[in-house]
Structure 1
Amino acid sequence: MNFDILYIDEHLIVLNKPAGLLSVPGRYNKDSAFGRLAAEYGELHIIHRLDMDTSGIIVYARNKPALTHVQQQFEKQRTRKVYEAVLTGVLPGSHGCINMPICVDWPNRPLQKISHTKGRYALTRWQKLGTTDKGSRVELYPKTGRSHQLRIHMQQLGHPIIGDVFYAGDAARQEKRLLLHARELDFTHPVSGEAMAIVCRPDF
């Protein structure tokens, strides 16, 4: 694999993960960005994940102290994450916020669902960038990191992400891939204390 590495040192590897590749090995599908990087670079630790269908920025730690430091930043919401997506249709308004709790849809795993009784707090802010012949291009700012959060929140807006085979109808399956990309990630370097601002533009 020709890795699209955005940053690397003795503590971290930041990768532009392609759509269609798992972040970490699955139960049945063992091929993953983690496995491929570990085979090339040795010791590696999982800090966070991206959905298999989502492309973009993902960070792995190369030692346990770095893992602990950066993982705590994610857990305490001290990171800044920006995603870019293309939604079906013309999204009304210029910006908004979705606060809907999410839980696993057990009979239909790995799907998630909105549940105001069993769901966990999930908040997404969105900003419309414009419209194209495909639909509405938006920036998404997740405050929380629930599984499928951005995908199900956009569905709840009535404008699912194009290419989403889980939450969009046939009209949204006009692309071979999910048009969702982790575009920006800000965090603090675990050793130097430097403010890291990683940017990787989508190719769609």
Structure 2
Amino acid sequence: MKPADPGTYQPPPDTGLDIIYQDEALLILNKPSGLLSVPGRGVDKQDCLARRVQARIADAMIVHRLDMDTSGIMIMARGADMHRALNRLFQQREIGKRYIALVAGRLDPPTGTIRLPLITDWPNRPRQKVDHRLGKPSVTHYRLLSYQPEQVCSRVELIPETGRSHQLRVHMLALGHVILGDNLYAEGENRQRAPRLLLHASELSLRHPLTGEPLRFTSEPPF
């Protein structure tokens, strides 16, 4: 199956919310691949996770985003006070995130850190690119989890320190191991090898903004 055309938006059907955790301060949800986190430009891009959640939980507010094609864990605030509190935690890098991806080839070395400055590739937006003069600093730690020789691909753990747009996708491309099914950055066979971007937000950890209790949420990737 071929990945969706990046120029069209075909969100998955609304079959209800996949809520991992909910209390008076926050929501933890699983976002499906192919669904925008927030409304996009144009009347055809208004269906998104934020709108679906707010139709059911009126005080829910977006704190961060996942790429449309990325699946996995997202956190939403309950009300303006919690929105400010969670924003502070993100700004202070006190919310931990972990992703799982399937990438082309075998990672060697099996662990490392990518430090590359990123900027929007304006003639080709929404693509991002490495720009050592104007780009904003971005840091990703990676670790090989397993190698699948029959598919010539690697399952990797990605832990971002920063949250630049498309950071994990561009970092893996720059490393020479593009994420499979990426309809923006992969070419040829690597783009066709999966019906979606094989990138999943699999873990999120933080201290509860009201109680200070350490929380850790996980979500298994569907690939």
Shift of 1:48: 0.4
Distance 1:172 1:74 in 2: 33
DSSP-derived class of the 2:56 partner: helix
Contact 1:95 1:126 in 2 (8 A): yes
Q: Which runs of 5+ in 1 are unaligned?
A: none
Matches within 5 A, 1:138-153: 138-153=156-171
Aligned length: 204
1:16 to 2:35 alignment: no
Tell me the TM-score normalised to structure 1 length.
0.98
4+ residue runs over 3 A deviation: none
- Deviations 1:109-155 (Å, cap 9, x if unpaired)? 10000000010000001000011233100000100000000000000
Shift of 1:33: 0.6
Distance 2:74 2:129 in 1: 25
- Deviations 1:92-121 (Å, cap 9, x if unpaired)? 122011100000001111000000001000
Q: Which residue of structure 1 lines up, in the alignment, with residue 4 of structure 2? A: none
**Identical positions, percent:** 46
Matches within 5 A, 1:110-125: 110-125=126-141
Q: Which residue of structure 1 lines up, in the alignment, with residue 109 of structure 2? A: 93
Tell me the TM-score normalised to structure 2 length.
0.89
Contact 1:88 1:136 in 2 (8 A): yes
* 1:194 aligned to which of 213, 217, 223: 213
Q: Which runs of 5+ in 2 are unaligned?
A: 1-14
| Partner AA of 1:3 in structure 2 | L
Matches within 5 A, 1:33-48: 33-48=49-64
Matches within 5 A, 1:61-100: 61-100=77-116
Distance 2:183 2:17 in 1: 26
